[in-house]
Amino acid sequence: MYGGAYGLYFDWTILLLFPAMILSIYAQAKVNNTFRKYSEIRSVSGYSAAEVARRILDMNGLYQVKVEHIAGQLTDHFDPRTNIVRLSDATYGSYSVAAIGVAAHEVGHAIQHATGYAPIRIRNGIVPFVNLCNKLSMPLILIGLIFGYGGGFFPILFDVGIVLFSATVLFQLITLPVEFNASSRALYTLENQGILRMEEVSGAKAVLSAAALTYVAAALSAIMSLLRLILISRNRRD
């Protein structure tokens, strides 16, 4: 049974979060190391990452999508609101295999958006709802956890917080096919259009696979956090 400070800070369910934490640390280290490794390998194509992004967009008739530089390290993303692929300091002007792989991946998101790829439409559509749930879930969970002993109204707030937090899990799960598909599109285009040689495609694949692992880690973390909250809720009722 949970109770007092012991119930708030020393429950065994915290152990459920350890595998996700370890995977997250490993995934981030792998991304940094893999990107650094293939950033030192210059593509023989002679194209910069920005030029590759523009070329793939034009090949798909997406002339209206812009390619812009954005400050930061690996802050690359596609903004569907403005139809802009933004490439970071380490990517935009780089001629490396790593940068070209990342740029092609972000263009993959632009193509998904343009072709109505279902998972990205769902993900983009639920963003406002998920953001609202994120803002409300933790305060409700904390209030319910701190003041919920002895029955009454507060335990209900805890359960409502859990339901709201499940939206985060849903978002992370939908993100997985979106990211995997964008990488598949990128690698297919880079190889079949001759933008990268076969051995260079392998390098780009290593970079994108490492990046994909961070999304797997985020999904696992959300799932295990939700499971932990459910167990805490059940134990408080025992």
* Catalytic residue numbers, as ranges: 106
Structure tokens given for 84: 């802009």
**Cα–Cα separations (whole angstroms), residue 154 to 15, 18, 174, 238:** 26, 29, 31, 16
Amino acid at 94: S
The residue whose two tokens read 């210059």 is 42
Q: Which ranges of 49-117 does DSSP label H, i.e. alpha helix?
A: 49-59, 97-115
196 token code pair? 């990268």
Task: Pull the structure tokens for residue 87.
Answer: 């490439």
Q: Which long-range contacts (CB under 8 A, 24 or more apart) does 198-201 make?
A: 200/41, 200/43, 200/44, 200/97, 200/100
Cβ contact 86:140 at 8 Å = no
Pull the structure tokens for residue 17: 């979060």
The CA–CA distances, whole Å, from 164 to 25, 71, 127, 129 equal 26, 34, 13, 10
